[in-house]
């Protein structure tokens, strides 16, 4: 077991990539806390991961809710070793920026970037005690642009650069920070963006490998980066995108 006795917080852990990471980390011996803004089924999803998995309803945009997430984690498990930021939102409404509502900008930037800033800020004191690590789920669209999602691309680029800068803040204390940049992954997010099968299939044809990746594949990459075997890796940016970021 690669994560025996480790404690991990996984934002967005109720769905898609975050859920797959929570499940794999739990199978590898970690105590897991999942967080998302939606209350429905959170406790049932936690139970489906393991009997001691904790769900804490948390909107990652809200400072007080992040503080609560940290205090509930420490109360139940006594420490924090791994922070995974997987909570995120995507929309294809940004091809005409002149027409885009400013509320859309705030929503995307605040969930995708401010959320990562807040969880990082409030987790660092605990992660310094355990020589822990942070893995931020950015996107291939943080590396290559997509015209329909300009603000999403910018938010994910911000996550990559923020992760690199934070990786430089405490390396001698053992705190590591890495980013994962998925391409299209078969999760509810991708199906919400392309609800019709025909447009989903058309979209995937644009990917060099012409298919979506799996959330379980991303979880295996997260496990690789979180484990002590790779304790010399920090500031890394890992694509898992079927070649999307090569174009
Ligand atoms: N699926 C893809 O194709 C893909 C590709 C590249 C990057 N990503 C990134 O991977 C991450 C996970 O995406 P996914 O595909 O699993 O999507 P998903 O929609 O299945 O899961 C997203 C999770 O984020 C949570 N969330 C949304 N807003 C939140 C908020 N304000 N506070 C707390 N939680 C919130 C949701 O409740 C859900 O649990 C995201 O950051 C996404 O941008 C996904």
- CATH number for 59: 3.40.50.720
Instruction: Report how far ligand 1's centroid is from the alpha carbon of 192 (Å).
Output: 11
Into how many domains does the chain fold?
Answer: 1
Average pLDDT of the chain to the nearest whole number: 97
What tokens were used for 11?
Answer: 């934002």
Nearest Cα residue to atom 8 of ligand 1: 139
**CA atoms 24, 88, 184, 212: torsion sign:** positive
Catalytic residue numbers read 152
Extract the tokens encoding 64. 């007080």
The model's pLDDT over 141-194, given as tens digits with 9 standing for 90+, comes to 999 999 999 999 999 999 999 999 999 999 999 999 999 999 999 999 999 999
Residue 208 lies in a domain: no
For residue 194, is it within any domain?
no
pLDDT at 200: 98
Q: Is residue 113 part of a domain?
A: yes
CA of 173 to the centre of ligand 1 (A): 30
Q: Tell me, what's the pLDDT at 219? A: 99
pLDDT recorded at residue 39: 81
Distance CA 116, CA 85 (A): 6
Cβ < 6 A, ligand 1 pocket: 11-12, 14-18, 36-38, 58-61, 86-90, 111, 137, 139, 182, 184-185, 187-190
Q: Is the residue at 206 inside a domain? A: no
- Structure-block tokens of residue 105: 């900008």
Residue 203 counted as domain residue: no
Report if residue 244 sits inside a domain. no
pLDDT band at residue 93 using 50, 70 and 90 as cut-offs: confident
Q: Give distance in angstroms: CA of 88 to centre of ligand 1.
A: 4
Q: Does 2 map to a domain?
A: no
Residue 193 lies in a domain: no
The pTM is what? 0.99
Range of the structural domain that residue 94 is part of: 7-188+215-239
């Amino acid at each position: 077991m690669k994560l025996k006795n480790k404690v991990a917080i996984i934002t967005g852990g109720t769905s898609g990539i975050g859920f797959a990471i929570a499940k794999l980390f739990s199978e590898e011996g970690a105590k897991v806390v999942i967080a998302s803004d939606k209350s429905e089924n959170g406790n049932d999803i936690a139970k489906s991961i393991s009997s001691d998995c904790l769900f804490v309803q948390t909107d990652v945009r809200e400072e007080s809710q992040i503080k609560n997430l940290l205090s509930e984690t420490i109360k139940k498990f006594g420490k924090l070793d791994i922070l995974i930021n997987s909570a995120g939102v995507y929309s294809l409404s940004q091809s005409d920026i002149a027409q885009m509502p400013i509320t859309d900008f705030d929503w995307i930037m605040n969930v995708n970037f401010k959320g990562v800033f807040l969880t990082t800020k409030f987790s660092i004191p605990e992660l310094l005690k355990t020589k822990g690590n942070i893995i931020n789920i950015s996107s291939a669209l943080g590396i290559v642009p997509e015209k329909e999602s300009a603000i999403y691309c910018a938010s994910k680029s911000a996550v990559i650069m923020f992760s690199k800068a934070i990786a430089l803040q405490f390396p001698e204390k053992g705190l590591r920070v890495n980013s994962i940049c998925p391409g299209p992954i078969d999760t509810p997010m991708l199906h919400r963006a392309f609800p019709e099968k025909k447009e989903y299939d058309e979209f995937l044809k644009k990917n060099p490998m012409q298919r979506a990746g799996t959330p379980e594949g991303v979880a295996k990459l997260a496990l690789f980066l979180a484990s002590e075997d790779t304790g010399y890796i920090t500031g890394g940016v890992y694509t898992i995108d079927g070649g999307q970021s090569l174009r």
